[in-house]
Structure 1
């Protein structure tokens, strides 16, 4: 995997980084939303 990243062009690495960043942010927002729903369901001041 690391060897393949070394052979990629710079444009591909930028696109790869943007996609991975988007996936990480989307995943974290989903986890945060689920924690809001299940950890603090009756207290919106504490969850938001």
Structure 2
């Protein structure tokens, strides 16, 4: 009985780590996509603005 419990515990911990890792990866992808959509045009506009301000 103790073996089954320890196996379930190990399985639960591994599943939790995988779940949190995939969630973090998914959120990271969303943030990366948002950065690509908003950040790159902002950088381009900022550099053009600096060039024009000179």
Question: TM above 0.5, one fold?
Answer: yes
Bigger RCO (CA 8 Å, 6+ sep): 1
Q: Aligned residues, how many?
A: 37
**TM-score calculated relative to the size of structure 2:** 0.58
Q: State the structure with more CA Rg.
A: 2
- TM-score w.r.t. the length of structure 1 is 0.65
Over the residues paired in the alignment, what is the CA RMSD in angstroms?
Answer: 1.7
**Larger relative helix fraction:** 2
Structure 1 residue runs without a partner (length 5+):
1-7
